[in-house]
Amino acid sequence: MGSITPCLWFDGQAEEAAALYTSVVRNSRIVSVSRVGSSESDPALTVSFELDGQAFVALNGGPQFSFTEAVSFQIACADQEEVDRHWDALTDGGEESRCGWLKDRYGLSWQIIPTVLQSLIGGPDADGAQRAVAAMLSMGKLDIAALESAYRGN
């Protein structure tokens, strides 16, 4: 059975974007770069890379298409330090949104989500879950302590 590899369309920034993404996401690497010419200084046509073991291809396809929020990538974060690190790196030159969403400098949407979020918004205390959802809806970058406090009713 074949595998599925997302291909991300860029307007000349494929190699730069792959370098950023592999520097931010753990267990990541650039696998190969196919260039328009034979020199290392020639622009990249495609860049194959992995983010946390998931294969991707970045294509310098031109200005015809751009990213929308209809597709985003989630990064599960174990703690606030991870949330902060990913958020800061990916919003640099990009744009913050709500509920843990952001757009990076290339317009690609990401969700920076603490792993504890699901247990808060789907927890056994229905009132606590509603408070956690209300708190999340008021945030840009998610704040784990504030979400937990809202769940507890503090």
List of residues 6+ apart from 113 with CB closer than 8 A: 74, 75, 76, 77, 100, 142
Q: Give tens-digit pLDDT for 5-34.
A: 999 999 999 999 999 999 999 999 999 999
Handedness of CA 114, 119, 145, 99 (dihedral sign): positive
pLDDT given for residue 132 in this prediction: 98
CB burial readout 75-92, b (16+ within 10 A) else e: bebeebebbebbbebbbe
Q: Give tens-digit pLDDT for 82-119.
A: 999 999 999 999 999 999 999 999 999 999 999 999 99
Residue 101 and residue 67: Cα distance in Å, rounded? 14
Q: Give tens-digit pLDDT for 117-147.
A: 999 999 899 999 999 999 999 999 999 999 9
Are the beta carbons of 116 and 80 closer than 8 angstroms? no
Average pLDDT of the chain is 96
